[in-house]
Amino acid sequence: MPLIPTADLLHAALANRTGIGAFNVIHLETAEALAAAAEDAGLPVILQISQNCVAYHGGLEPIARATLAIASASQAHVAVHLDHAEDEELTRQAIDLGFGSVMFDGAKLDYEHNVEATVRVVEYAHANDVFVEAELGEIGGKDGAHAPGVRTDPGEARRFVDETGVDALAVAVGSSHAMTERTASLDLGLIAALYTAVPVPLVLHGSSGASDETIVSAIRSGITKVNVSTHLNGFFTDAVRRSLAEHPEVVDSRRYLREGRAAVASEAARLLTLFAVSGSSTGEGATR
């Protein structure tokens, strides 16, 4: 099936008040697993390649072309997205390669410089019919620094969207990247206020640290795009460890990587299903 524009998937989810899973590609096996998950669940998925992933592979093009090929070959509706790019040039590379969306992360910049840089990314992206996500209110984590006090202000968020023309906004509401325990407490009232204030889909980063129930509540409060990476990485690694422990004689890496791929596909399909139904039938949450 042809690559699906990220905008189409997010706007459909927003209209239905459901969530959509955006899962990070680490290597070829995870890209294959995530496409298989979407096919198994009969639901769309967004495959994300982060700036950290690009650094690991030594450049964007090899992992990007592989992921785009997997997405295009899938029978599911699959979009490909650049995640957490702090480098403006990297966003342009992704757009030129055919990504349906890019995230420019200027959250470490002061407000005015974040706006200026984001506008440059938006202008290039929109000229090429590419959807742009940005971030306001830095989301903690990565280096172990959990910053639960960081929050996105609804008024500033509305101003930021108006000034930059971004198509989706990642917000700081209590989550943190790279959490291995699902103990994050999200500010649901703030999510509802942001949903009311901001006319574009809201994105939850650091979702690996939130429980199923918390994510469901976040979607009902107004989150549309749910980013997950560390949680799925754990399933991959645990499956590989079990396989190696049970078969210490194995030297063919395909034998144990296959187990990791299958574990990610199963859990990703479960999450896609969870996100897709969580907001659709309750009528709960904020209004615009």
Active-site positions read 83
Q: Measuring CA to CA, which residue among 18, 101, 21, 28 is closest to residue 65?
A: 28
Tell me the two tokens of residue 98. Answer: 């055919």
284 in any annotated domain: no
115 in any annotated domain: yes
- Quote the pLDDT of residue 280: 53
Range of the domain at 192: 6-277
- Quote the pLDDT of residue 178: 47
- Quote the pLDDT of residue 202: 96
- Quote the pLDDT of residue 46: 98
pLDDT by 10s per residue, the chain, length 288 = 789 999 999 999 999 999 999 999 999 999 999 999 999 999 999 999 999 999 999 999 999 999 999 999 999 999 999 999 999 999 999 999 999 999 999 878 888 999 999 999 999 999 999 999 998 865 444 433 235 567 888 999 999 999 999 999 999 887 555 444 555 668 899 999 999 999 999 999 888 778 898 999 999 999 999 999 999 999 999 999 999 999 999 999 999 999 999 999 999 999 999 999 866 544 456 677
How far, in Å, are 153, 195, 225, 248 from residue 171 at the CA level? 9, 10, 11, 45
122 in any annotated domain: yes
- Quote the pLDDT of residue 191: 93
184 in any annotated domain: yes
283 in any annotated domain: no
Structural domains of the chain, count = 1
- Quote the pLDDT of residue 149: 61
> How far is residue 155's CA from residue 263's CA, in Å, rounded to a whole number?
42
- Quote the pLDDT of residue 208: 73
286 in any annotated domain: no
224 in any annotated domain: yes
- Quote the pLDDT of residue 110: 86
List pLDDT tens digits, range 248-265: 999 999 999 999 999 999
285 in any annotated domain: no
CATH code of the domain covering residue 218: 3.20.20.70
9-17 LR contacts (CB < 8 Å, sep 24+): 9/44, 9/46, 9/77, 9/79, 10/131, 10/167, 10/168, 10/201, 10/224, 10/225, 11/201, 12/44, 13/201, 13/224, 13/225, 14/201, 14/224, 16/279, 16/280, 17/219, 17/220, 17/279, 17/280, 17/285
- Quote the pLDDT of residue 118: 96
pTM of the model: 0.90
Please give the single-letter amino acid code of residue 229.
S
DSSP conformation letters of 243-261? HHHH-TT---HHHHHHHHH
